Structure 1
Amino acid sequence: MPDFTASYASPTNESFSLSHTLPSCPPSVAAAEKSAYLAALRQAITEMQDAINVQLTARMDEDNKTKSAAGGSGGVVVDDVAEEENYGEEVQEED
Protein backbone atom coordinates (compact mmCIF):
# COMPACT_ATOMS: atom_id res chain seq x y z
CA MET A 1 0.00 0.00 0.00
CA PRO A 2 1.36 3.45 -0.85
CA ASP A 3 2.04 6.15 1.73
CA PHE A 4 1.03 9.79 1.55
CA THR A 5 3.78 11.77 3.32
CA ALA A 6 4.37 15.40 4.28
CA SER A 7 7.62 16.71 5.78
CA TYR A 8 8.48 20.07 7.35
CA ALA A 9 11.94 21.43 8.01
CA SER A 10 12.89 24.79 9.46
CA PRO A 11 16.13 26.31 10.71
CA THR A 12 14.32 27.69 13.77
CA ASN A 13 11.63 25.11 14.60
CA GLU A 14 11.56 21.38 15.19
CA SER A 15 11.06 19.39 12.00
CA PHE A 16 8.21 16.93 11.59
CA SER A 17 7.06 14.32 9.14
CA LEU A 18 3.56 12.89 8.83
CA SER A 19 2.51 9.82 6.90
CA HIS A 20 -0.80 8.22 6.04
CA THR A 21 -1.15 4.82 4.38
CA LEU A 22 -3.44 4.81 1.38
CA PRO A 23 -5.28 1.88 -0.14
CA SER A 24 -3.88 0.61 -3.41
CA CYS A 25 -5.36 2.11 -6.54
CA PRO A 26 -7.90 -0.34 -7.93
CA PRO A 27 -6.72 -2.09 -11.10
CA SER A 28 -10.23 -2.39 -12.46
CA VAL A 29 -12.29 0.31 -14.07
CA ALA A 30 -15.34 -0.32 -11.90
CA ALA A 31 -16.86 2.97 -10.82
CA ALA A 32 -17.61 1.74 -7.30
CA GLU A 33 -13.96 0.79 -6.69
CA LYS A 34 -12.70 4.10 -8.06
CA SER A 35 -15.20 6.00 -5.93
CA ALA A 36 -14.12 4.12 -2.80
CA TYR A 37 -10.46 4.79 -3.57
CA LEU A 38 -11.07 8.50 -4.18
CA ALA A 39 -13.12 8.76 -0.97
CA ALA A 40 -10.25 7.19 1.00
CA LEU A 41 -7.77 9.54 -0.69
CA ARG A 42 -9.91 12.58 0.10
CA GLN A 43 -10.22 11.48 3.74
CA ALA A 44 -6.45 10.96 4.02
CA ILE A 45 -5.76 14.41 2.58
CA THR A 46 -8.23 16.04 4.98
CA GLU A 47 -6.70 14.25 7.98
CA MET A 48 -3.18 15.14 6.84
CA GLN A 49 -4.14 18.80 6.38
CA ASP A 50 -5.65 18.91 9.87
CA ALA A 51 -2.50 17.38 11.39
CA ILE A 52 -0.26 19.80 9.46
CA ASN A 53 -2.35 22.76 10.63
CA VAL A 54 -1.99 21.64 14.26
CA GLN A 55 1.79 21.35 13.88
CA LEU A 56 2.20 24.69 12.10
CA THR A 57 -0.06 26.50 14.58
CA ALA A 58 2.10 25.17 17.42
CA ARG A 59 5.21 26.45 15.66
CA MET A 60 3.59 29.83 15.04
CA ASP A 61 2.79 30.04 18.77
CA GLU A 62 6.42 29.16 19.58
CA ASP A 63 7.63 31.88 17.21
CA ASN A 64 5.32 34.44 18.83
CA LYS A 65 6.49 33.47 22.33
CA THR A 66 10.13 33.72 21.25
CA LYS A 67 9.50 37.11 19.67
CA SER A 68 7.74 38.36 22.82
CA ALA A 69 10.52 37.08 25.07
CA ALA A 70 13.11 38.83 22.90
CA GLY A 71 11.56 42.23 23.35
CA GLY A 72 8.26 42.00 21.57
CA SER A 73 7.40 43.53 18.26
CA GLY A 74 8.48 47.05 19.11
CA GLY A 75 4.99 48.20 20.01
CA VAL A 76 3.49 47.01 16.76
CA VAL A 77 0.09 45.36 17.11
CA VAL A 78 -0.01 41.95 15.44
CA ASP A 79 -3.20 40.64 13.88
CA ASP A 80 -3.04 36.99 15.00
CA VAL A 81 -5.80 35.91 12.60
CA ALA A 82 -4.01 37.41 9.60
CA GLU A 83 -0.69 35.99 10.80
CA GLU A 84 -2.18 32.49 11.06
CA GLU A 85 -3.80 32.72 7.62
CA ASN A 86 -0.52 33.82 6.02
CA TYR A 87 1.96 31.82 8.13
CA GLY A 88 4.74 30.48 5.94
CA GLU A 89 3.61 32.54 2.96
CA GLU A 90 5.18 35.63 1.47
CA VAL A 91 2.69 38.46 1.86
CA GLN A 92 2.87 41.52 -0.34
CA GLU A 93 2.30 44.69 1.66
CA GLU A 94 -0.19 47.14 0.23
CA ASP A 95 0.94 50.74 -0.28
Structure 2
Amino acid sequence: MNDPTTRSTPFIRCDHVDLHLFAVQSGIPLLDTLEHVAVYLSCAEALAHQAPTATRPEHCGSLYWASQQMLGTARALVQASIDGLHAVHAGDEA
Protein backbone atom coordinates (compact mmCIF):
# COMPACT_ATOMS: atom_id res chain seq x y z
CA MET A 1 0.00 0.00 0.00
CA ASN A 2 1.30 3.46 -0.89
CA ASP A 3 1.92 5.97 1.88
CA PRO A 4 -0.96 8.42 1.77
CA THR A 5 -0.27 11.96 0.61
CA THR A 6 -2.43 15.01 0.02
CA ARG A 7 -4.57 15.61 -3.02
CA SER A 8 -4.73 19.02 -4.66
CA THR A 9 -7.35 21.07 -2.80
CA PRO A 10 -8.16 24.70 -3.71
CA PHE A 11 -9.28 27.04 -0.94
CA ILE A 12 -10.05 30.67 -0.08
CA ARG A 13 -12.40 31.74 -2.84
CA CYS A 14 -11.89 35.19 -4.35
CA ASP A 15 -14.65 37.71 -3.71
CA HIS A 16 -15.39 38.83 -7.27
CA VAL A 17 -14.52 35.85 -9.46
CA ASP A 18 -15.25 32.13 -9.26
CA LEU A 19 -11.64 31.18 -8.52
CA HIS A 20 -9.65 30.10 -5.50
CA LEU A 21 -6.66 32.10 -4.34
CA PHE A 22 -4.68 29.18 -2.86
CA ALA A 23 -4.42 25.40 -3.13
CA VAL A 24 -2.89 22.61 -1.11
CA GLN A 25 -0.42 20.82 -3.38
CA SER A 26 -0.78 17.11 -4.03
CA GLY A 27 1.86 14.64 -2.88
CA ILE A 28 2.62 16.08 0.58
CA PRO A 29 3.07 13.35 3.23
CA LEU A 30 0.17 13.36 5.69
CA LEU A 31 2.38 13.65 8.76
CA ASP A 32 3.80 16.93 7.44
CA THR A 33 0.32 18.13 6.58
CA LEU A 34 -1.12 17.31 9.99
CA GLU A 35 1.77 19.03 11.76
CA HIS A 36 0.92 22.20 9.81
CA VAL A 37 -2.77 21.78 10.67
CA ALA A 38 -1.91 21.72 14.38
CA VAL A 39 0.13 24.92 14.06
CA TYR A 40 -2.58 26.74 12.08
CA LEU A 41 -5.25 25.71 14.59
CA SER A 42 -3.13 26.83 17.56
CA CYS A 43 -2.49 30.20 15.93
CA ALA A 44 -6.15 30.66 14.99
CA GLU A 45 -7.16 29.86 18.56
CA ALA A 46 -4.68 32.39 19.98
CA LEU A 47 -5.89 35.09 17.60
CA ALA A 48 -9.53 34.36 18.37
CA HIS A 49 -8.83 34.73 22.09
CA GLN A 50 -7.05 38.05 21.52
CA ALA A 51 -9.71 39.60 19.29
CA PRO A 52 -12.31 40.47 21.97
CA THR A 53 -9.69 42.15 24.16
CA ALA A 54 -8.02 44.18 21.40
CA THR A 55 -7.52 47.75 22.59
CA ARG A 56 -8.22 49.26 19.16
CA PRO A 57 -11.38 48.35 17.21
CA GLU A 58 -9.50 47.91 13.92
CA HIS A 59 -7.28 45.31 15.60
CA CYS A 60 -10.30 43.22 16.59
CA GLY A 61 -11.38 42.94 12.93
CA SER A 62 -7.86 42.14 11.76
CA LEU A 63 -7.38 39.43 14.40
CA TYR A 64 -10.74 37.91 13.53
CA TRP A 65 -9.94 37.96 9.79
CA ALA A 66 -6.52 36.39 10.36
CA SER A 67 -7.99 33.62 12.50
CA GLN A 68 -10.60 32.91 9.79
CA GLN A 69 -7.86 32.65 7.16
CA MET A 70 -5.90 30.22 9.34
CA LEU A 71 -9.00 28.13 9.96
CA GLY A 72 -9.70 28.00 6.21
CA THR A 73 -6.14 26.86 5.56
CA ALA A 74 -6.33 24.20 8.26
CA ARG A 75 -9.66 22.98 6.87
CA ALA A 76 -8.18 22.68 3.36
CA LEU A 77 -5.16 20.77 4.69
CA VAL A 78 -7.44 18.32 6.50
CA GLN A 79 -9.62 17.88 3.40
CA ALA A 80 -6.56 17.30 1.20
CA SER A 81 -5.39 14.66 3.69
CA ILE A 82 -8.78 12.93 3.78
CA ASP A 83 -8.94 12.92 -0.03
CA GLY A 84 -5.42 11.43 -0.12
CA LEU A 85 -6.43 8.66 2.28
CA HIS A 86 -9.50 7.87 0.21
CA ALA A 87 -7.37 7.71 -2.94
CA VAL A 88 -4.96 5.21 -1.35
CA HIS A 89 -7.79 3.02 -0.13
CA ALA A 90 -9.43 3.16 -3.56
CA GLY A 91 -6.15 2.11 -5.20
CA ASP A 92 -5.54 5.44 -6.98
CA GLU A 93 -2.19 7.13 -7.09
CA ALA A 94 -2.14 10.12 -4.75
> In which range does the TM-score fall when normalised by the shorter chain?
0.3 to 0.5
- Give the structure with higher Rg (CA): 1
TM-score, normalising length: structure 2: 0.42
Higher helix fraction: Structure 1 or Structure 2? 2
TM-score, normalising length: structure 1: 0.42
